């Protein structure tokens, strides 16, 4: 069971909302009843050999093609609840003034994060996943349709706060960024290796709190590299702004690379 999100039952509809919107639904029925017509044939085994997440991977590839065609650099932000994803976005968006940006917010229930982003003036769409503990490629596709993304822009996707489930779901992003804050313990990479394995970038956030907590930055980096030796790191404080210039430079370079 997933303790992080506590969800257990399927079926609660996914909703998409812009800042100030009323609820509107998109159908997402994955399961349907089939008629049982009992014309008795013989018992047989059918070879299927299909990737169980193949449907999501296909949609992610379609999204990736769309982003490429429009020259949109896309970042998928994943972390435990409260590691500072939204705070980092608020800061980054104000630092990147002049660069066309958009944000997709994923959350089980509330509009809170989208409202915080909307306050920066950047276009944002909230996806409420209901019971769902992660965004999937199809949700991102629908959200992109609603957002009318600009060419040559940056798209940030804040995934549902959860260090387990989003690991398996490719959204079509260019880079996956895992955020860990220093209040969480430096053994996170060891405890949640699947997420660190699936990430390109690791941000260590809340470094302003380092004097007050037992968190060995070096040890955390080493452990994360043992899981995934491709990881690149940024050490930042989203609230004080320390370390953010390097992150902003990295983003700007990636937008340029796209051209």
Partner 1 sequence: MHEMSIAMNIVDIACKEAQSEGASTISIIELDVGKLAGVMIDSLKFCYDSVCKNTLAEGSELVINEISGSGHCLDCATEFEIDSFMALCPNCESYKVDINQGRELRLKAVTVN
Contact code string over 113-152 relative to Mg ion, x by CB under 5 A: x---------------------------------------
- Is 27 among the residues that bind partner 1 (CB under 8 A)? no
Number of residues that bind partner 1 (CB under 8 A): 55
Distance of CA 134 to the CA centre of its chain: 8
Tokens read off for 24: 């509107």
The binder of partner 1 chosen from 25, 27, 49, 151 (CB under 8 A): 49
By CB under 6 A, tell whether 85 contacts ligand GTP.
yes
Of the candidates 90, 105, 136, 186, which one interacts with partner 1 according to CB under 8 A?
136
Among residues 168, 209, 210, 231, the one that binds partner 1 under rule CB under 8 A = 168
Q: Is 184 in the site for Mg ion (CB under 5 A)?
A: no
Binding of Mg ion by 91 (CB under 5 A):
no
124-128 and 15-18 beta bridge pairing:
antiparallel
* Footprint of Mg ion on 71-90 (CB under 5 A): 85-86
Task: Return all residues near 139 (Cβ < 8 A) that are at least 6 apart.
Answer: 14, 16, 106, 127, 129
Element (H, E) at 138: helix 137-147
d(CA 226, CA 95): 33
Tell me how many degrees the CA angle 154-156-157 measures, rounded to the nearest 5: 145
Rounded CA-CA distance 208/14 in Å is 37
How many whole angstroms separate alpha carbon 2 and alpha carbon 166? 12
DSSP tag of 25: B
Give the Cα separation of 31 and 103 in Å (integer).
30
Structure tokens at 91: 């800061």
Q: Which stretch binds ligand GTP (CB under 6 A): 29-37, 53-61, 80-88, 142-150?
A: 80-88
- Window 109-148: residues binding ligand GTP (CB under 6 A): 113
Could you say whether residue 161 binds ligand GTP (CB under 6 A)? yes
Residues that bind partner 1 in the complex, under the rule CB under 8 A: 1-2, 5, 7-10, 30-34, 36-56, 131-134, 136, 164-169, 190, 193-194, 196-197, 223, 225-229
Residues that bind ligand GTP in the complex, under the rule CB under 6 A: 79, 81-87, 113, 161, 205-206, 208-209, 237-239
């Amino acid at each position: 069971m997933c303790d992080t999100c506590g969800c257990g039952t399927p079926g609660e509809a996914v909703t998409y909302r812009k800042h100030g919107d009323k609820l509107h639904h998109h159908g997402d029925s994955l399961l349907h009843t089939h008629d049982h017509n009992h014309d008795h044939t013989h018992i047989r085994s059918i070879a299927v050999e299909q990737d169980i997440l193949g449907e999501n991977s296909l949609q992610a590839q379609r999204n990736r093609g769309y982003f490429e065609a429009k020259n949109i650099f896309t970042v998928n932000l994943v972390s435990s609840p409260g590691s500072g994803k939204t705070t980092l976005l608020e800061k980054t968006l104000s630092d990147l003034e002049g660069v066309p940006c958009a944000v997709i917010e994923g959350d089980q229930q509330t509009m809170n994060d989208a409202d915080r982003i909307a306050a920066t003036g950047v276009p944002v769409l909230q996806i409420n996943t209901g019971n769902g503990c992660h965004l999937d490629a199809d949700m991102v596709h629908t959200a992109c349709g609603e957002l009318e993304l600009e060419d040559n822009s940056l798209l940030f996707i804040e995934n549902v706060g959860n260090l387990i489930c989003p690991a398996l779901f490719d959204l079509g992003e260019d880079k996956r960024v895992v955020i860990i804050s220093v209040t969480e313990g430096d053994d996170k990479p060891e405890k949640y290796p699947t997420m660190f394995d699936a990430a390109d970038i690791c941000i260590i956030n809340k470094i302003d709190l380092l004097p007050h907590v037992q968190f060995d930055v070096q040890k955390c980096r080493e452990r994360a590299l043992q899981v995934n030796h491709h990881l690149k790191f940024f050490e930042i404080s989203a609230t004080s702004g320390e370390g953010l210039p390097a992150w902003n430079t990295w983003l700007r370079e990636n937008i340029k690379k796209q051209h």
